A and B are shown apart, each in its own frame.
Chain A
Amino acid sequence: MILLKLLQSLFNTLHSEGTPGQVAAGMALGAFLGLTPLPNLHNLVVFALILLLNVSFGGAMLGWALATPLGFLLDPVFHRIGRVLLLETPALTPLWTRLYNTPVIPLTNFNNTVVLGSVVFTCAAFVPLYLLARVGVDRYRVHVAPKVMQSGVYRAITASKLYNLYRLFKPQ
């Protein structure tokens, strides 16, 4: 059921709901959830942004789904980046020391090499990801969507009433 709902939201997101910019912003925010280790405070903030900002929720879920395996693959790179920043850049040590001893900030687990490395990487990649997703959605809607919408599978999925539950979060 959940899978069906996700597929519905995915198709509707890609086909019509929201502007390509809203979908791309949702995907970029969703990528944040996928690229960085999930159970950390910063991801609660990202999740709140996905809900509160008028971005595509379906796009965010799609971005999350696509970015998660990538996150696993890139973990060694994130660890290396985090290590360089936390341990091998003495100029940053006073900053980390201050943050480490500031209330709430340590709950983000920023002092973990993989967490910091992935957050820094994702922040740096946010705008390129957004632009890439925007171009991708544009092209999909022009070249691929008409064919998909004609398919029987698509019609079967969108016919489900569960789809209506999803509409609560569709972009306005």
Chain B
Amino acid sequence: MSPPARIALFRWKAVIPLGLFLILIVALWLLFADRLGRMALEKGGTAALGAKVQVDRFHIALTQGQVIIGGMTVASPFDSLKNLFQADELVADIAILPLLERKVVIDQLKASGLRFSTARTSSGIVPSKGPSATSQIMANTRSWAAQPALQVPVLQLAAGKLSIDSLDPRNLRTVHDAQALVTRADSSRQAWVAAEQGLDVKGTADSARAFAARLQKASATDFALINDARRTLDQVKQTRDRLTALQRNVTQGTKALQQDVAGLEDARQRDYAFARSLVKLPPIDATSLGWVLFGPAAVEKFQRAIHYTQLARHYMPAGMLPHEDPAPKRVRMAGTNVRFPQEHALPRFLLREAQLSFFLGAQPQAYAGTLRGLTSDPALYGRPTTLDATATGIQAGALFDHVHPLSRDTAGGVVQHVALPDLRLPSLGIRLSPGSGQTGGGTVAFGFSLVGDSLRGRWSVSTAQAEWVRDSGGGPSGQAASLVWQVVSGIHQLDLTAELSGTLTAPRLNVHSNLDRAVAERVQALVGDQVKAADARVRAQVDAAVNEQVAKAKSQVAGLAADAASRLGAQQGQLDQAQKAIEDQLARLTHGIRLP
């Protein structure tokens, strides 16, 4: 039998096909790299922003270490028919070696022909398919803007009689609170009575008095009886101590109930506000009117700032811990990609410096700015991301400091003598043009900072050439809109300031302008009496609905406090009397000498 033939380990003739296969891969890459790069940029950008990112041309010139992007359009995630920005051309000088680590390091980027807030013909907002960080951030931002503290009352001058037929007492907080208070008072009464019965003060006092009567017939040598008298006296004292403790509890309990009674007045005030909101009584004071006129625009401005800041915090996280991101979708399950930043290593993405050339205004003038240190791993880069643009009539800057665990994001800018975007007052169907560049324009300043979750922001518009325009789209045309229009259409000076403070969860926004008082005076003159009368009726209806319950609660608490005080006082008296009776007899028998 011949030994089995030896099988060669390698198949050398396959080297040539393998080489051809590798050449084919390289050729395919050369053919499709630009297309794949464009698709990756569009897909990644769209996913990151939640709005369409479109690129007309994309070319990778690997030998020159350059990527050239032409005709880039980034839609706004807030305005469906507006772009966030458009760029004529972006030329990026890319470091080649970091690509072997799947890291993109752009040493220099030249962005030319940037235009902001340009119009688009189709919606650029991309609805989220499934949960994503971007959609979550957008949802969070929307719920931030929907907080009660940022809700703007509607300026609606109701015609005719203002009625609040829809006021349902069951919806009034005061009624709920008063009923709950009555229940608590009942429970307290029962608990105290039970505790009082547990003490058996009357039994103890009666027993002690009976013993004192026995002691009257006893002699000084009747030691057993004297000892029993002392034990009885101790029992009386212990009962009195427990009674004192109960009295303390009762006092604290009645105090708490009385505080709740006082709280009913706060609830009543809230119910007044609730009832006013049902009839939509127009605000008539200047402070509220500033908020009504420009509040929505201010909230929108700050909402956008918060959104972009939160996006920056997500995609540029602080710290050096492994960071998890959903992987790009593919036919198979995508899984998640985990980043492992390492000290002194390059970040996954780094744009060292970008020279920005942009246009502002309807009659574009060229401006320049610089962006530095945009990175996915700020802790690795070790320096904050900065943006600055300074030119005639414009001064803007931003700083995103995610190097340390506490993120600090600041952005601000002042634009002067430039035709500015219109300021819309949608609830009134009025649009304000802050003035065109030809006539000197206006000054718009915006400042925003988010340190941790502490907010601070300021938005101001100042112009002496304000032009008011009624929306042609048939916006609100009610009495309120007409009234505001009559007031503001003749005023060309506008000084508007909105200030934001507080935290993300508890923001405070204050909006005021030179128009507030003028509008308030007209509103008061027109409907002031009617509003005041309606306000009085609202209060009367609320009072009628809650007074009975409030009175019942007050009387219950007052009665409980008085009753408890008198009952416990009487019992205290009984114990005092019994104690005195025994002590008197003991003193008589022992002549003041304390026997063992």
Contact = CB atoms under 8 A, between A and B. Distances in A.
A115 B339 CA distance: 14
14 contacts: A22-B7, A51-B11, A52-B12, A52-B14, A72-B332, A79-B333, A79-B336, A96-B340, A101-B345, A106-B101, A111-B337, A112-B337, A112-B338, A114-B334
A154 to B, nearest CB: 26
Contact of A97 (B7, B21, B324, B342): B342
Nearest to B18: A51
A152 interface: no
A87 interface: yes
Interface string B199-221: 00000000000000000000000
A107 B18 contact: no
A48 B18 CA distance: 7
B100 interface: yes
Contact of B342 (A19, A72, A100, A107): A100
A51 B335 contact: no
A124 to B, nearest CB: 18
Interface of B: 7-15, 17-18, 21, 25, 97, 100-103, 322, 324, 327, 330, 332-342, 345-346
A144 interface: no
Given A93-B322, A100-B342, A172-B11, A113 B336 contact: yes
Among B103, B324, B332, B339, which residue has the most Cβ atoms of chain A within 10 A?
B332
Contacts of B9: 53-54
A85 B390 CA distance: 50
Given A37-B332, A71-B332, A113-B336, A54 B100 contact: no
Contact of A87 (B13, B21, B322): B322
B307 to A, nearest CB: 28
Given A97-B322, A112-B338, A113-B338, 4 more contacts: A71-B332, A79-B335, A82-B335, A100-B342
Nearest to A95: B340
Contacts of A71: 332
Contacts of B330: 37
A104 interface: yes
B14 A98 contact: no
A169 B14 contact: yes
B273 to A, nearest CB: 49
B7 A51 contact: no
Contact of B18 (A37, A52, A93): A52
A109 B342 CA distance: 17
Q: Which of B21, B333, B336 has the most chain A CB within a 10 Å cutoff?
A: B333
A76 interface: yes
Interface string A81-94: 01100110000010
Main secondary structure of the interface of A (DSSP, over half): helix
B101 A103 contact: yes
Contacts of A103: 97, 100-101
Nearest to A51: B14
Given A37-B330, A104-B100, A114 B11 contact: no
A23 to B, nearest CB: 12
B335 A113 contact: yes
Contacts of B336: 79, 83, 112-113
A138 interface: no
Interface string A117-159: 1000000000000000000000000000000000000000000
A56 B341 CA distance: 42
A79 B327 CA distance: 12
Interface string A57-89: 000000000000001100110110011001100
Contacts of A102: 101
A111 to B, nearest CB: 5
Contacts of A2: none
A101 B340 contact: yes
A51 B337 CA distance: 31
A168 B322 CA distance: 48
Given A72-B332, A87-B324, A52 B10 contact: yes
B97 A86 contact: no
A13 to B, nearest CB: 15
A75 to B, nearest CB: 4
Contacts of B21: 47, 51
Given A86-B338, A87-B322, A102-B101, A172 B333 contact: no
A103 B97 CA distance: 8
Nearest to B341: A97
Which among A83, A102, A172 has the highest number of chain B CB atoms within 10 Å? Answer: A172
Given A96-B338, A106-B102, A19 B7 contact: yes
A78 B333 CA distance: 10
Contact of B10 (A37, A47, A53, A105): A53
Contact of B339 (A100, A109, A117): A100
B338 to A, nearest CB: 5
Contact of A51 (B17, B102, B324, B342): B17
Given A51-B11, A100-B339, A103-B97, A86 B322 contact: yes
Given A51-B14, A51-B17, A54-B10, A114 B338 contact: no
- The residue among B17, B324, B327 with the most chain A CB atoms within 10 A of its own CB is B327
A109 B339 CA distance: 11
Given A51-B14, A52-B11, A87-B322, A75 B333 contact: yes
